[in-house]
Amino acid sequence: MAVMTYREALNLALREEMRRDPNVFVIGEEVGLYEGAYKVTQGLLREFGPRRVVDTPIAESGFTGVGIGAAMTGLRPVVEMMTFNFALVAVDQIVNTAAKIRYMSGGQYHVPIVIRGPGGPAAQLGAQHSQSMESYFYHVPGLKVVRPTTPMDAKGLLKSSIRDDDPVIFIESETLYNVKGDVPEDPDFLIPLGQAIVRREGTDVTVIAYMGMCYRAMEVAEELAAEGISVEIVDPRTLRPMDTESIIGSVRKTHRAVVVEAGAGFAGMGSEIAAFITERAFDDLDAPVERVTGANAPMPYARNLEKLKTPSKDRIAAAVRRVCYANGG
């Protein structure tokens, strides 16, 4: 076990998979000579050369299409989006080609492609670079969607995604790249897709959160413990396929649920989680499911407004108190 940053864990996962399988290659803007906009691909060009670390023009639709074609012929491309907001330029390739080829070919073709990069709230990058993009992809049949929270998750889930035979949308976070944590150095270490994790055990309420919101929820849980409220935190890690059994099991244990997400709430991830909790565990609930989401507005550039846009610790704590009927909630 080694201590490394989220960024270093992603780099290690890419390096190990490229060493293990010569069919794995990286393609995207500035992934080679510049070593990645966020240095996730640092050192890969020197080790693997320009045939396996491919710099491209600013043409997301084009190089995503190249990746899809390469995957159909047996290669395993990892396509880097400099920011996942730019994946909007390649939505037709992702949704109408990568996600559907296996079905439309009757299983004759697989598309083992990973499309990865940072997304979600950042640090004053403005409305066009700070969107939570998972909601654009997780309802598309044929796509898998992963949002890793810790460095260990980053390594284990990226390796599993690269080995998967279906297209995987792998969304990271600019704000987590420098977060440090324990990471297994074993090159065979994998975290299966579709497996949630309980980040904190509790008895009074289940909080479901991922990425930056999971860290924020952990801070809230620590503060609420002083008030006698025991918070259990479940991190889905993979949004599709979703580990509904782990989430339902936790809710049946605590009888209350709060879902936290950074994106705008309407038709968001929290809506889906709240729906299946209500459908499958209604009789176990002692309070309605609460959702804490980002404001339904574009992300402002101003730092003070950016903080208002995203779920705060105070809003998460207030939701937990409401479902627990605590302190006047």
**Which residues are part of the catalytic machinery?**
60, 129
**Cβ–Cβ < 8 Å for 259, 270:** yes
Cα–Cα distance list, 230 to 24, 203, 226, 254, 326 (Å): 45, 5, 9, 9, 12
Closest by CA to 10, choosing from 144, 171, 215, is 171
Cα dihedral angle (73, 75, 80, 81), rounded to 10 degrees? 20
Determine the Cα–Cα distance for residues 142 and 66; give it in Å rounded to an integer.
19
Determine the Cα–Cα distance for residues 141 and 291; give it in Å rounded to an integer.
25
Determine the Cα–Cα distance for residues 151 and 148; give it in Å rounded to an integer.
8
List residues bridging with 290 in a β-sheet. 258
**Cβ–Cβ < 8 Å for 149, 211:** yes
**Residue entry with tokens 């997400």:** 261
**Residue entry with tokens 């991922």:** 210
The two structure tokens encoding residue 257: 């649920």
CB atoms within 10 A of CB 266: 10
List residues bridging with 259 in a β-sheet. 208, 291
Determine the Cα–Cα distance for residues 314 and 274; give it in Å rounded to an integer.
21
Determine the Cα–Cα distance for residues 40 and 230; give it in Å rounded to an integer.
37
Determine the Cα–Cα distance for residues 10 and 17; give it in Å rounded to an integer.
11
**Cβ–Cβ < 8 Å for 174, 38:** yes
